[in-house]
Structure 1
């Protein structure tokens, strides 16, 4: 990825009051011409493509995580992205069942394309369908945001300005290459494009022609969408022949702090420790030999899983445990007709991000690696909580709760 030194505190010599939106808008327009245009030109974007894409674009003040010039970034109190919220809400029965039912219909409608793409890439059709369904409802969910307004706003003043500047320039390169006109490019509120919801840089790298017409149309072509999703997963290391994971029962003797992709071991070793599949079926011989990882997205307050390297390929698509779990589970429902998880989600996930960030800072002060004080309870935070609980004589749950706020002090 291009290294772009875009830091608003250095770009602007004079701070503007955070609420003076007219003045910030003036700075935004100046930034487009004096800062962004030279960067885009250096990456092969023509003046015509630049103007056609960004003419008339103004700041979208409704987007999350904005840091106007002269203000200080803060951890938001609430979590807007569903993938990092309460697990029970994310696995709403209507959403899960509806996506699986629609996936079975799409499996029949696009059977020939799915067979061909699966044979070419090794990525199972059920996984492709589950991602397609989750990302855009198989192309039925309206995508209404102006992609250049979203990307330009976030590149100018978000908590990840450099990242979004790269993505903005990638979007300009998409227009320059003639894939779509700038004003027609629609995105999610995060800047993701088309039916597979690719960020612009992912489109440039992974979009594929699935119908042989010489184009990679992720906006209007189901065949191209299927091929593009499979290409993305294959090139991120999908292991053909292995599953994504299995729901399991984890005995109390196995610590929830053993979670994480850096604590893997052959699945036969997990079995020897007492971990069993909730289905009652044994693991196949080739899975027993393969590496597996403990994954407990709600700690002891929800279902537990032994996942394979393919689970983390799914996380490359969207860096959320719940997202990868949703895709794997819905894929299984599409192909095998499995039911709900056997484990039940507890009442977790209701804390403010700012509360979790404060807990993470306390854990960091104790020497734990929580993966950053971002207010998101990822596996490093979960297992750090478990290790702290074990060290202080508590029953490890490996998930933040309100009672920990006062007790978590170095």
Structure 2
């Protein structure tokens, strides 16, 4: 072994410290200043070539990102040098009692606000319904839910939000597509840069359209030559209607009915792939709440059993339009909220008759573990994503019935342990 000549010790130490600095720079989380620099380099060297190839001019690109810096307060970001974080606790409406989603304070505000605006915009709503076939109460319920009829603030710059997420978010590819679509909106003159205000998720205007949805579905209904989903009520409502129509809204049908489901009918029959004519569901003993018969026009039409809390809450026979509402937001509870609020706008004080049970207490990781256990046993849960969707709910019911348990079709702590 050779010893180090003392005369070279200062040089050795200097090189060693330099190496430590380089390694630290590669592994340590980036400072805000360095993130800004990397963001600017990414814009110029990565995003701009693709934007240019898609027909975005340099003037549009420059105007969109003038003064824009990454907003590191946005959720779901992964800074350079860091690894994605898994939250220890994951709270979502579906994991507590679903009843919390239907708080009267919120439902009441949407339904009363909708009724007031139904009178104010009667002519506009009539014209929109005539053209698109979507009932006014549905449009008003979505408008109220998404932006409080325009009272909710849209404080973010869309290019700041989408740029940050396309650069740093866990779903970069999705936000990159949305960012390029936002640039296209400006390039085509559909909205100026200054009007591109969004939510923290990058959703635009009062209907809360992502930029790709704006390009596909937003319309100029008031005929002023602008597609203005930020300020024009006719454009806002017609754009929502156009969205639903393009996803298959069936004219003349509602969203569904609250029903009672006898114990002889398994909750595992739930799902949009297990539909039956409504007359057949009626023969099984499923009845409308309140005693009314299903409309004669609905008897031969397809309906789908939907039990978002399994046996622990209200049950519904949904029409295909329910699943169109889910194209607006994939949550069962969201679509139910819109249906309930629309019914109240049209009919007055209307509420679900059945209570939501005291279910919940699980985190997303608990449900994902349950889903993986069911998958190993051969059940189709959709995916082990921690979301108790209809495939997970009915798989739970099937496992419960197979193992001599009362089928509830909803996860709980005891079930998670039992299935493992």
Q: Give the TM-score normalised by the residue count of structure 1.
A: 0.91
Q: How does 1:139-288 map to 2 (within 5 A)?
A: 139-288=150-299
1:123 to 134, 149, 152: 134
The range that moved more, 208-217 or 21-30, is: 21-30
* Structure 2 stretches lacking a partner, 5+ long: 1-24
Q: Does 1:372 align with 2:393?
A: no
99 and 202 in structure 1: CA distance in 2 versus 1, 3 angstrom threshold: same
Match of 1:29 in 2: 40
How many residues align structurally? 396
Shift of residue 366, structure 1, vs aligned partner: 2.1
**In structure 2, how many angstroms separate the alpha carbons of the residues matched to 1:295 and 1:94?**
25
SS at match of 2:359: coil
**In structure 1, how many angstroms separate the alpha carbons of the residues matched to 2:312 and 2:129?**
36
Shift of residue 23, structure 1, vs aligned partner: 4.1
Shift of residue 31, structure 1, vs aligned partner: 1.8
Given that 2:95 and 2:362 are in contact with CA atoms closer than 8 Å, whether structure 1 keeps it comes out as no
**In structure 2, how many angstroms separate the alpha carbons of the residues matched to 1:141 and 1:23?**
34
Given that 1:16 and 1:23 are in contact with CA atoms closer than 8 Å, whether structure 2 keeps it comes out as no
Q: Does 1:108 align with 2:150?
A: no
**In structure 2, how many angstroms separate the alpha carbons of the residues matched to 1:181 and 1:340?**
43
2:371 to 350, 360, 363: 360
SS at match of 1:202: helix
Shift of residue 61, structure 1, vs aligned partner: 2.5
Shift of residue 58, structure 1, vs aligned partner: 2.4
The CA deviation string for residues 142-200 of structure 1, in whole angstroms up to 9 with x for no partner, is: 11122112212222232322111111110111111223332442211211110111110
Shift of residue 352, structure 1, vs aligned partner: 1.6
209 and 56 in structure 1: CA distance in 2 versus 1, 3 angstrom threshold: same
More helix by share: 2
Given that 1:63 and 1:189 are in contact with CA atoms closer than 8 Å, whether structure 2 keeps it comes out as yes
404 and 82 in structure 1: CA distance in 2 versus 1, 3 angstrom threshold: closer
77 and 129 in structure 1: CA distance in 2 versus 1, 3 angstrom threshold: farther
Shift of residue 117, structure 1, vs aligned partner: 0.5
1:307 to 315, 318, 325: 318
Given that 2:186 and 2:192 are in contact with CA atoms closer than 8 Å, whether structure 1 keeps it comes out as yes
Match of 1:8 in 2: none
SS at match of 1:118: helix
**In structure 1, how many angstroms separate the alpha carbons of the residues matched to 2:339 and 2:411?**
25
Match of 2:4 in 1: none
The CA deviation string for residues 27-47 of structure 1, in whole angstroms up to 9 with x for no partner, is: 333222221111211221111
* Structure 1 stretches lacking a partner, 5+ long: 1-13
Shift of residue 406, structure 1, vs aligned partner: 2.1
Q: Does 1:48 align with 2:59?
A: yes
The range that moved more, 50-59 or 192-201, is: 50-59
2:355 to 344, 365, 378: 344
The range that moved more, 252-261 or 154-163, is: 154-163
243 and 21 in structure 1: CA distance in 2 versus 1, 3 angstrom threshold: same
Given that 2:94 and 2:388 are in contact with CA atoms closer than 8 Å, whether structure 1 keeps it comes out as no
Match of 2:346 in 1: 335
Shift of residue 388, structure 1, vs aligned partner: 1.8
**In structure 2, how many angstroms separate the alpha carbons of the residues matched to 1:373 and 1:15?**
34
72 and 403 in structure 1: CA distance in 2 versus 1, 3 angstrom threshold: farther
Shift of residue 20, structure 1, vs aligned partner: 5.1
Given that 1:75 and 1:354 are in contact with CA atoms closer than 8 Å, whether structure 2 keeps it comes out as no
Q: Mark the structure with the bigger radius of gyration.
A: 2
Given that 2:260 and 2:288 are in contact with CA atoms closer than 8 Å, whether structure 1 keeps it comes out as yes
Q: Give the TM-score normalised by the residue count of structure 2.
A: 0.89
